[in-house]
Chains A and B, each alone.
Chain A
Amino acid sequence: MKARLFFDNLGRALLTREIFENKNLSRRFYKYFLIGILVRLVFLPFLYMRDLLSIYQRAAETVFAGNFGSDFYQILTNYIHSAYLFVIKSIVPAISEFSSILLEKDTWVSWISFNSSYNVFTAVALFKILYLLFDIACMFLILRLSFDDEPENRLRAFKFWIFNPIVIFVLYVFARHDIIGVFVTLVALLLAKKNRKYWAIIILAVGIAIRFFPIMILPLFVFYLARSRKDYIVLSLTGISGLLSVELFSYFYFGRSVIFSLLNTQFFNYLLKPELELVTGSHGSIFIFIAVYIIIILSFLHIKNKSFDLLLNYGAIIYLTYISLCFFHPQYVLWAVPFLIVIFVRRKSLIYYHWFQFILVLVLLLYWGPLVTNFIFTPIDYRFFIYLPSPNSIVRLFYDDAGFVNIFRSVFAGVSLWMVYLIYKYNKTMLSNKLNGGED
């Protein structure tokens, strides 16, 4: 009897009371969950992109060689992976057998050795289970993100996440770790929804320390949560405290600045590269994304009655604008997904554009050549997929491959900007319906 009570309470806690107590909804929830898990399991052991091995190689440096500075740019991410690697190597002896491969400095040799190992599927599956755990945690957070008195819509949001092609691709085909940062951001969003302003910002600061992307929505958090002038200052400082902590740690531990190192990497350049040269040959330029970003932030600032749903919509606008205007890696699209999920429930037409985005992202993989196309399949048979002609080389027979991809990149930008427009239009409708002209 006690066990039943325990599981009932657990069910309510995980599924929300409304869904758990509605037999039809809870059954549908369970069905979606199982099918979603099945799809994830199918991809789990067989596919990954080379970066998964790199991140675990750096974790192995920490776990097997005691080097705590093996990943200078992503310190927290490295420690999370290191802790996880430590746990799985303690439980599964097969993982310890990989230590020499993981510690191999020659990246080509380690990659070939890893893929040719008889138990490569075990290692790939275990490495990706970390992301599966965060993914499952995100599913339950998504359930609570919006639609408080609408269990049917909550379930739809859950469905859109669990069957989201970007989520499945980024985590189980590409095997990138962005889900960790997304999870922390979702926790921060839920805290913001409950008006726990300091906790929301502190958790977001942790998210920023894990991955740089949540910093883009930090101003939205501050404007949404701040109730006084003091709040603006305190919340802003708290928001960047995570990054400052990592900076201080790196400065004292490694003797160099992580922020300035990051600013000098190509990744930060992605933000600045789309620029409008004011006079040909001069130094005068406008960084397009920065200008557009400021417009979006100011647009949010000038809304008088900011609702949580508006915050989510603006989050979607920011990330969609980013992937529209700037060079991005496929996993960056994941950052837009939690925000879009909620919008899909209200504006179903947007999901068709999202699927179109996903198809275009698959074409954009040609930017990186065989590394992200053929080589993803190398655990199955590395020789076959290394020696197979890459899609790039086939495209090049007919047309310049960079030009070919850029056509699709432009279509992607067009679709994403159109989605931004639709969300903006939807914001206006929301405001006029609920707030009766609350905008300045």
Chain B
Amino acid sequence: MKMVNPGLKIIVLVLTAVLILTLFSGCRGVFYIPGASYGYYIWEEDNNIYVEWSIDRKESEFEGRILTDGKITAYNLNGWEESDTIKVEGDKIEFSAALDDTDYSDGFSFAIQDYTYLEFDLKMNGGYDLSRINLGGFLENPEESVFRIGKGYFGQLGEKPWYRKHPFSEFLGKLFSNKYFTFVYLFILGAVIIEILRVTVLAGRKRKIIGMAISYAVLVVAEIGIYFILRFLVR
């Protein structure tokens, strides 16, 4: 019987774990795990706006208000309990809902017509925590307590490349802003790899010096390439 590569096994395991987590996540628009994630998650799907919230199994109150210059034509509740309240008028939604160690997440979605903006005023336990409001993406946070988004906001966010999102944006930003460290570090890593190649792959070769020269040339070119790639990604 053919042996399965252990590396392949690990990849399959990791993919399975990711799949399970995705299945347990509360939505497709913004990744969150009901009962483990903490905050508001807002996204757009099939022309509906979804507003959901979750907390890590602690008693918490979520209340808020959504205003618009358009018309709310329909709404749906998700995980709503009797004690939770929602009031929907033509251009306004007001809600108040609680979560606890058995109620992992609540939320609602609504359809809206002819609008140019949505204004949100979302509170957790009577206060504002903007870092916990995820607008169309994880850590896409508003800057003000009462904030507005335009009609095309979610579409524009979808076009945002991966390197502008967390954690890549921060990581690449630090690498680029600390160039002396980054390029010295990469050079040391490269030099160690070249040494490993010298004592393994190049060990039996006759013209070892040529192999070494090429390796270092590749390293220098790679460093220059990384500089320009980082500059492009961070700009």
Contact = CB atoms under 8 A, between A and B. Distances in A.
Nearest to B21: A394
A31 B199 contact: yes
Nearest to B193: A38
Contacts of B138: 384, 387
Interface string B165-181: 01101110111011011
Nearest to B195: A34
B36 interface: yes
B178 A387 contact: no
Contacts of A121: 174-175, 178, 181-182, 185
Interface in B138-187: 138-139, 166-167, 169-171, 173-175, 177-178, 180-182, 185
Contacts of A118: 173-174, 177-178
Contact of B35 (A384, A387, A393): A393
Contacts of B192: 34, 37-38, 41
A389 B37 contact: yes
Interface of B, helix, strand, loop or mixed by DSSP: helix
B199 A27 contact: yes
Contacts, number: 97
Contacts of B193: 38
Interface string B65-105: 00000000000000000000000000000000000000010
Contact of A384 (B57, B170, B177, B185): B170
Nearest to B197: A34
B132 interface: yes
B57 A396 contact: yes
A296 interface: no
A384 B139 CA distance: 7
A380 interface: yes
A384 B166 contact: yes
B224 interface: no
B36 A119 contact: no
B181 A119 contact: yes
Interface residues of B, number: 39
A397 B20 CA distance: 13
B139 A387 contact: yes
B124 interface: no
Q: Is the interface of A mostly helix, strand, loop or mixed?
A: helix
Contact of B39 (A41, A384, A385, A387): A387
A87 interface: no
Contact of A383 (B24, B56, B139, B196): B139
A380 B57 contact: no
A382 B166 CA distance: 10
Contact of B174 (A41, A120, A385, A394): A120
B234 to A, nearest CB: 11
Nearest to A41: B189
Nearest to A45: B185
Contacts of B33: 389, 393-394, 397
B166 A381 contact: yes
A382 to B, nearest CB: 8
A394 B199 contact: no
A399 interface: no
A387 B141 CA distance: 12
Given A119-B181, A122-B181, A397-B33, A380 B196 contact: no
Contact of A385 (B167, B199, B200, B203): B167
A146 to B, nearest CB: 26
A394 B22 CA distance: 12
A43 to B, nearest CB: 12
A362 interface: no
Contacts of B196: 31, 34-35, 38
B10 to A, nearest CB: 12
A125 B181 contact: yes
Interface in A343-385: 377, 379-385
A380 B193 CA distance: 24
Interface string B31-65: 01101111100000000000000001100000000
A380 B167 contact: yes
B13 interface: no
A287 interface: no
A380 B166 CA distance: 10
B57 A383 contact: no
A175 B37 CA distance: 28
29 contacts: A31-B196, A31-B200, A34-B199, A38-B192, A38-B193, A38-B196, A41-B189, A45-B181, A118-B173, A119-B177, A119-B178, A120-B174, A121-B175, A121-B185, A380-B167, A380-B170, A381-B167, A381-B169, A381-B170, A383-B131, A383-B166, A384-B170, A385-B167, A387-B38, A387-B39, A389-B36, A390-B36, A393-B56, A397-B33
Given A34-B195, A122-B178, A393-B56, 5 more contacts: A34-B192, A119-B178, A121-B181, A384-B167, A393-B35
Interface of A: 27, 30-31, 34-35, 37-38, 41-42, 45, 118-122, 125, 377, 379-385, 387, 389-390, 393-394, 396-397
| A-B pairs, 10 with minimum CB distance | A381-B167, A381-B170, A389-B36, A393-B36, A384-B167, A384-B166, A118-B177, A393-B56, A122-B181, A119-B178
